[in-house]
Amino acid sequence: MKYFATLAGRPRKVAVAVLAAALLLAGAAVPVYAQGPTPLPRGLAVVERILSRLYEREQAWLGLQTNHLARAAQAADKAQQLLDAAKEKGRDVTALEQALAAFRAGVAQAQAAHDQAASILGTHTGFDASGQVTDRQAARQTVVRARQSLAEAHRILLRAVRDLRRAVRDWRRSQRPQAPAASS
Amino acid sequence: MKGRIWLLAALPVVLALTASCSRGRPAAPAAPNRPPASATVVGPDRSEALADDLDKALGELEGNLNGVDTIEDLEQALGGS
Contact A103, A76 (CB under 8 A): yes
Q: Does residue A25 register a pLDDT over 50?
A: no
pLDDT at position A9 is 52
Q: Which residues of B touch A (CB under 8 A)?
A: 40, 42, 46-47, 50-51, 53-55, 57-62, 64-66, 68, 70-71, 73-75, 77-78, 80-81
From the list A58, A75, A172, the residue facing B61 with the nearest CB is: A75
Q: Are B62 and A161 within 8 A, CB to CB?
A: yes
Alpha carbon distance B64, A64 (integer Å)? 10
pLDDT of residue B67: 80
Would an 8 Å CB–CB cutoff place A124 in contact with chain B?
no
Nearest C-alpha in B relative to A47: B81
Other C-beta atoms lying within 10 Å of the C-beta of residue B61: 24
Grouping H, G, I as helix, E, B as strand and the rest as coil, residue A175 is helix
Above 90 in pLDDT, residue B38? no
Q: Which secondary-structure segment (H or E) carries A80?
A: helix A42-88
Taking the C-alpha atoms of residue A64 and residue A71, their distance in angstroms, rounded to an integer, is: 11
- pLDDT band at A40; cut points 50, 70, 90: confident
How many beta-carbon contacts under 8 Å exist across A and B? 85
* Nearest residue in B to A74, CA atom: B57
pLDDT in tens, A99-136: 999 999 999 999 999 999 999 999 999 999 999 999 99
Q: With contact defined as beta carbons under 8 Å apart, do A127 and A68 qualify? A: no
Shortest alpha-carbon distance between residue A46 and chain B (Å): 8
Give ∠ CA B70-B72-B77 in degrees, rounded to 5. Answer: 90
Q: Where are the domains of chain A?
A: 44-173
User: How does pLDDT run across A42-61, given as a tens digit for each residue?
Assistant: 888 999 999 999 999 999 99
